[in-house]
Structures are given as structure tokens and as C-alpha cells.
Amino acid sequence: MKRFLLSLAPFLLCIEVAFAQGDSLTANPVFRKDCAKCHGKTAEGRHFGGPSLTSPKVATATDEDLRKMISEGKGRMPKFAGKLTPAEIDTLVSEIKNSSRK
């Protein structure tokens, strides 16, 4: 029985990593602090708020388009260039792209 449980360990670790990566955007403290109030806690958008960040439209946006929207703002979205570091913006872009592919 012990051998069987040990053989499951790598499989369970892979599942845990997959789930952790799957929700990395919504688990990101920057997203929760600065984005979730408009885009929703699940990043699926809010009525009268920000649009879904998991939509096919976002999936087709380039990294540079997303980086520019976050940095410079667009429409009712405020600019975050002075509030977030370039590394934080790059992380958000990567996580948005990953979450919109699902």
C-alpha cells in the first residue's frame, strides 16, 4: 500500500501544479488589488465594469496590446504605468494570455 501511495505522488504533484497555474491570474496579489474590482474576482468581467479577461477577444490580443492597455489605460480603464512596475505588468500580461487560452 505504501508503494502504491508513493507511486501516486508525482501524479498528484502534476495535478496540483496544473491547478495552481490555471488560476495564477486570479491568485496574483496585483490582480486582486488592482484588477478584480472591475474585471471580477474570476476575471470573467463584471456587469457595468471591466470586460472579461478570459474571452476569445483577449486571447487574440497581442502581448504588446495588453501591455499598452494596462500601462496607458483605454476607455474607462485607468493607466497603471506609475502604479505597477514593468515586471508586474509583464506578469499580468502573461497570466491574462494563459487564462484566455482556456
Residue listed under C-alpha cell 474585471:
39
pTM of the model: 0.75
CATH code of 48's domain: 1.10.760.10
Q: What is the pLDDT of residue 65?
A: 97
Is it the case that residue 28 has pLDDT exceeding 70? yes
pLDDT tens string 63-90: 999 999 999 999 999 999 999 999 999 9
23-64-61 Cα angle (round to 5): 65
**Does residue 2 fall inside a structural domain?**
no
**Does residue 3 fall inside a structural domain?**
no
Structural domain of 46 = 24-100
Q: Which of 20, 38, 33 is nearest to 95 (CA)?
A: 20
